């Protein structure tokens, strides 16, 4: 069903969507966290979700990436049992489906989910694969998984996690990602891991040009084999690097509210998304961390319309861009593109 040019909240909610950049660890329900805090006596307030909210969501925090990443350090304390891991993975998919996301690439760090309870990294990965496959069937949504390496952790640990991803290429994992503090930890030590990812057929998405400059986008394209850049919004500061990205067909996974919360932009109306589109860059619109930022993809579409002046045609184009660069085999991508061309 075509939505014509209506851009009301209900039309945007009903619009079939794709999210290529969403972290499982940033997608936890407050109600679930409250239950876990109560059951495991975690030392966080656990009488109401409102008491807990400030610990795990951005409320009135300083807009800095260290503060944003700090929420994930708190969230790690909630991964206490295999049942919890399976539950949060299942719920993350259910929540995406409820927002009419029809194709989701959910990324996660097995090492983050394992840290507190010292779970086996392979087992954690398989719990997430199983839970998301179950949820995908239950909620009629297509889901693929990306494993995220963290640049502020050791290369040795990243190598172990990358091996788990390589072994599951075509068996539940479709891509490899690099995230974490890009200011303090340059990506160079991780380059061989991403070269290998390409060799075994995984897609590569690299967080870059978010908290640093356009040069990091260049580095991700040239050295880390990135096909897609997480955020990458600072590319808007360099026409030269933007042109190179267009030439190479690199796609940008833009997440508006996340950029506000980490201080990349001071106000959403100043976000460079429009400038990126005007440059002719391939851009997609995503959530990053709907739980931490307390948003849905529909909310992000509304911001794009109300704060940045985009219209239905822009949202449609970004959705089709996402279908074209999904980490799927060629025939899967074509099927996804045709599906969204028909329903949007």
Residue whose tokens read 């085999």: 329
Interacting positions 242-301 with Zn ion (CB under 5 A): 288
Our CB check for Zn ion shows the closer of 19 and 288 to be 288
Size of the site for Zn ion (CB under 5 A): 2
Alpha helices in the chain (DSSP H): 9-14, 30-39, 49-56, 65-75, 82-98, 110-114, 121-139, 155-167, 191-199, 214-222, 239-248, 256-261, 273-279, 290-293, 297-306, 312-324, 330-343
Interface with Zn ion by CB under 5 A: which range of 52-60, 63-71, 154-162, 225-233?
A: 225-233
Nearer to Zn ion, 17 or 261 (CB): 261
- The answer for residues whose C-beta is within 8 angstroms of residue 57's C-beta and 6 or more apart is 30, 71, 291, 292, 293, 294
| 283 contacts 20 by C-beta, under 8 angstroms | no
How far is the C-alpha of 249 from the C-alpha of 205, rounded, in Å? 13
State the nearest-atom distance from the C-beta of 29 to Zn ion, in Å.
19
Binding mask 106-125 for Zn ion (x = CB under 5 A): --------------------
Number of Cβ within 10 Å of residue 158's Cβ equals: 21
Nearest to 177 by CA among 103, 234, 111: 111
Q: Of 187 and 230, which has the nearer Cβ to Zn ion?
A: 230
Residues 37 to 96: which contact Zn ion by CB under 5 A? none
Residues taking part in catalysis = 210
Residue closest to Zn ion (Cβ) = 288
* CB of 288 vs Zn ion, minimal distance in Å: 5
Q: Least distance to Zn ion from the beta carbon of 231, Å?
A: 7
Task: Give the x/- contact pattern for Zn ion in 171-210, rule: CB under 5 A.
Answer: ----------------------------------------
Q: Which stretch binds Zn ion (CB under 5 A): 12-20, 150-158, 226-234, 303-311?
A: 226-234
Structure tokens at 324: 């074209």
Residue closer to Zn ion (CB basis): 19 or 36: 19
Q: Which residue's CB is nearer to Zn ion, number 110 or number 230?
A: 230
Q: How far is the CB of 165 from Zn ion (least distance, A)?
A: 17
Closest distance of CB 21 from Zn ion, Å: 6
| Residue (of 223, 225, 285, 279) closest to 252 by Cα position | 285
What residues line the site for Zn ion (CB under 5 A)? 230, 288
């Amino acid at each position: 069903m075509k939505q014509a040019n209506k851009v009301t909240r209900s039309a945007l909610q009903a619009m079939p969507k794709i999210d290529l950049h969403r972290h499982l660890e940033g997608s936890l329900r407050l109600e679930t966290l409250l239950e876990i805090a109560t059951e495991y006596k975690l030392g966080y307030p656990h009488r109401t979700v409102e008491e807990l909210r400030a610990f795990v969501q951005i409320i009135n925090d300083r807009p800095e990436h260290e503060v944003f990443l700090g929420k994930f350090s708190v969230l790690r304390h909630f991964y206490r049992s295999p049942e919890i891991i399976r539950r949060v993975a299942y719920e993350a998919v259910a929540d995406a489906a409820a927002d009419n996301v029809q194709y989701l690439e959910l990324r996660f760090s097995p090492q983050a989910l394992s840290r507190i309870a010292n779970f086996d990294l392979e087992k954690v990965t398989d719990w997430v694969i199983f839970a998301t496959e179950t949820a995908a069937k239950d909620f009629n949504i297509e889901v693929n998984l990306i494993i995220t390496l963290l640049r502020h952790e050791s290369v040795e640990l990243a190598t172990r996690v990358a091996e788990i991803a390589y072994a599951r290429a075509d068996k539940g994992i479709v891509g490899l990602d690099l995230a974490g503090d890009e200011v303090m930890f340059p990506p160079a030590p991780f380059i061989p891991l991403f070269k290998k990812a390409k060799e075994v057929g995984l897609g590569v998405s690299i967080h870059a040009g978010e908290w640093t400059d356009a040069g990091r986008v260049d580095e991700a394209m040239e050295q880390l084999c990135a096909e897609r850049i997480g955020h990458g919004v600072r590319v808007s500061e360099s026409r030269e690097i933007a042109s190179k990205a267009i030439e190479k067909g690199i796609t940008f996974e833009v997440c508006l509210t996340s950029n506000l919360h980490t201080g990349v932009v001071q106000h959403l109306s100043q976000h460079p998304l429009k400038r990126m589109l005007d440059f002719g860059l391939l851009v997609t619109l995503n959530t990053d961390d709907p739980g931490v930022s307390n948003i849905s993809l529909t909310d992000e579409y509304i911001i794009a319309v109300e704060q940045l002046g985009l219209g239905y045609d822009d949202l449609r184009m970004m959705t089709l861009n996402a279908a074209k660069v999904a980490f799927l085999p060629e025939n899967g991508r074509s099927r996804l593109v045709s599906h969204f061309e028909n329903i949007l």
